[in-house]
Structure 1
Amino acid sequence: MRKIFIIGIVASGKTTLAKQLSQTLHIPWHELDCVVYHQTPEGRVKRTAAEQLEVIEEIDSSEAWIFEGVDRDSYQCLFEMADTIIFVDPPLWKRRVRIVKRFVKQKLGIEACHYQPDLKMLYMMYVWTRDFERGRASFEDKLQGYSSKLVRLSNHNDLQKLLKQ
Structure 2
Amino acid sequence: MSKILITGIVASGKTTLAKQLSSSLGIPWHELDAIVHHRTSEGRHKRTAEEQLEVIRGIDQSGPWIFEGVDRISYRHLFEMADTIIFLDPPLWKRKMRIMTRFIKQNLGLEKCGYRSDIVMLKLMYQWTREFERNRSTFESFLHPYQEKVIRLVDNDIREIPELHLMK
TM-score by length of 2: 0.95
Displacement of 1:159 after TM fit?
2.9
Q: Any stretches of 5+ residues in structure 1 without a counterpart?
A: none
d(CA) in 2 for partners of 1:164, 1:13: 21
Corresponding residue for residue 21 of structure 1:
21
- Is 1:93 paired with 2:100? no
Corresponding residue for residue 11 of structure 1:
11
- Is 1:115 paired with 2:127? no
Runs of 4+ in 1 over 2 A off after TM superposition: none
For the aligned residues, what is the CA RMSD?
1.0
**SS of alignment partner, residue 146 of structure 1:** helix
d(CA) in 1 for partners of 2:54, 2:73: 15
d(CA) in 2 for partners of 1:134, 1:146: 22
1:25-66, Cα deviation, whole Å (9 max, x unpaired): 000000000000011122110000000000000000022000
* Letter in structure 2 aligned against 1:115: Y
**SS of alignment partner, residue 116 of structure 1:** coil
Corresponding residue for residue 55 of structure 1:
55
Q: Which moved more, 1:42-51 or 1:24-33?
A: 42-51
**SS of alignment partner, residue 68 of structure 1:** strand
1:117-147, Cα deviation, whole Å (9 max, x unpaired): 0000000000000000000001000111100
Count of matched residue pairs: 164
Corresponding residue for residue 67 of structure 2:
67
* Letter in structure 1 aligned against 2:158: L
* Letter in structure 2 aligned against 1:160: R
Displacement of 1:161 after TM fit?
2.3
d(CA) in 2 for partners of 1:16, 1:49: 26
* Letter in structure 2 aligned against 1:144: H
* Letter in structure 1 aligned against 2:6: I
* Letter in structure 2 aligned against 1:52: Q
Displacement of 1:6 after TM fit?
0.2
Corresponding residue for residue 147 of structure 2:
147
Q: Percent identity?
A: 64
